[in-house]
Amino acid sequence: MAVVSNRMIRPDVGRVWFRSRALARQARPGQFLHLRVPDANAAILRRPFSIHDVVGDRIAILYRVVGDGTRALSALSAGAPVDVIGPLGIPFRVMPSRPPLVVAGGIGIAPLQFLLRRMTARGLHPRLLYGCLTRSALLPHLAVTRAVTTDDGSCGGRGLVTAALAREIGRRPGAAVYACGPWPMLRETARLCRERGVPCQVSLEARMACGVGACQGCAVKGTAGYLTACHDGPVFDARTIDWDQGVAV
Ligand SMILES: Cc1cc2nc3c(=O)[nH]c(=O)nc-3n(C[C@H](O)[C@H](O)[C@H](O)COP(=O)(O)OP(=O)(O)OC[C@H]3O[C@@H](n4cnc5c(N)ncnc54)[C@H](O)[C@@H]3O)c2cc1C
Ligand code: FES
């Protein structure tokens, strides 16, 4: 798979587009790619990234630079080859008869853009609730109906995105929730949905090695035993997760 373009959209966040007809055709929202970045000293292990978007035969990931692997990724220029396994994992299961509420926290917007695009293409009208710490942390995303919240009130409503979700659930009877973001946000989302009887799917992150269910390195505690984030997830029905285990990563 070759890089088509790679640009920073914020000082610490980049978007890279690859060309691969086969991957673009197979990809489903919520799945991830397991990338080995060339020339990265520490990149012996692959790094998992959600599929952020698919347009024609191009496929994108949105990455935050946090260490050697993502730094090496940010240095790739057009034409660079990248070794990839994927698409991997369980995607979101869209429930077409229920109004979709899509909840993103920070970089958790990454897999949701593709989900929003596919929902819109199916004639659904997803409402995106997008929460960030502050205005400068907001990332560009699709122009679907959205409500922005920032913890400090510098853009959109002041407060946590889960408070906005609590209000929206009341306004959208029969809704289904699809969420990605930090663990405390997902835990509160799962709690609200359980309390109100709303179906909820969450995309979880865990440190990964093999990416295909072989090493148990990405184990997440479920209500009925351990699950692997790479093979049983990364998208889970929120009711199957033990939310008292603390942060999964
Ligand atoms: C299914 C899945 C999908 C993901 N999708 C995205 C995405 O779309 N965009 C994105 O920016 N990141 C995503 N991640 C996280 C991404 O894989 C890590 O940030 C990346 O592997 C870090 O590599 P590194 O070599 O730069 O950092 P490292 O040197 O390995 O680590 C640097 C720091 O990042 C932390 N870190 C490493 N891996 C993870 C992880 N899996 N989750 C949280 N923190 C981690 C480490 O604890 C450490 O503090 C996803 C992870 C999973 C499991
Ligand atoms: S990373 Fe090996 S089982 Fe998930």
Rounded Cα distance, 54 and 115, in Å: 10
Closest-lying ligand to the alpha carbon of 106? 1
Q: Is the CB of 45 under 6 A from ligand 2?
A: no
| CA 10 from centre of chain | 18
**Ligand 2 centroid to residue 134 C-alpha, Å:** 34
User: If you average pLDDT over residues 15-34, what whole number do you get?
Assistant: 96
Identity of the amino acid at 125:
H
Q: Looking at residue 140, what is its pLDDT? A: 67
Atom of ligand 1 nearest to the CA of 43: 25
Pocket test for ligand 2, best of 46, 207, 210 (most atoms within 8 A of CB): 210
Q: Which single residue is written with the structure tokens 């309390």?
A: 195
**Chain segment 79-127, per-residue pLDDT in tens:** 998 999 999 999 999 999 999 999 999 999 999 999 999 999 999 999 9
Q: Is the CB of 213 under 6 A from ligand 2?
A: yes
Q: Is the CB of 206 under 6 A from ligand 2?
A: no
**Ligand 2 centroid to residue 170 C-alpha, Å:** 38
Q: Which single residue is written with the structure tokens 């024609």?
A: 56
Atom of ligand 2 nearest to the CA of 215: 2
Rounded Cα distance, 123 and 55, in Å: 18
Domains identified in the chain and CATH numbers: 2-88 (2.40.30.10), 100-240 (3.40.50.80)
Tell me the sheet residues that pair with 173: none
Atom of ligand 2 nearest to the CA of 231: 4
Rounded Cα distance, 155 and 152, in Å: 8
* Global confidence as pTM: 0.93
Residue nearest to atom 39 of ligand 1 (CA): 207
Contacts of 168 (CB under 8 A, 6+ apart): 101, 127, 129, 147, 175
39 band by pLDDT with thresholds 50, 70 and 90: low
Q: Calculate ∠ Cα 37-15-189, nearest 5°.
A: 105
Peptide bond into 48 cis (omega under 30): no
User: If you average pLDDT over residues 145-150, what whole number do you get?
Assistant: 73
Q: Is the CB of 218 under 6 A from ligand 2?
A: yes
Q: What tokens does 185 get?
A: 């946000």
**Chain segment 195-210, per-residue pLDDT in tens:** 999 999 999 999 999 9
Q: Is the CB of 230 under 6 A from ligand 2?
A: yes
Peptide bond into 199 cis (omega under 30): no
Mean pLDDT of the chain: 90
Residue nearest to atom 52 of ligand 1 (CA): 205
* Residues 81-90 as b or e (16 or more Cβ within 10 Å = b): ebebebbbbb
With CA atoms as reference, report the closest residue to 113 among 175, 239, 35, 27. Answer: 27
Closest-lying ligand to the alpha carbon of 52? 1
Q: What tokens does 31 get?
A: 């799945």
User: If you average pLDDT over residues 48-70, what whole number do you get?
Assistant: 95
Rounded Cα distance, 130 and 128, in Å: 6
DSSP secondary structure letters along 2-21: EEEEEEEEETTEEEEEEE-H
The set of protein residues with a Cβ atom below 6 angstroms from ligand 1 is: 32, 47-50, 61-64, 66-70, 107, 110, 205-208, 229, 234, 249
Q: Is the CB of 209 under 6 A from ligand 2?
A: yes
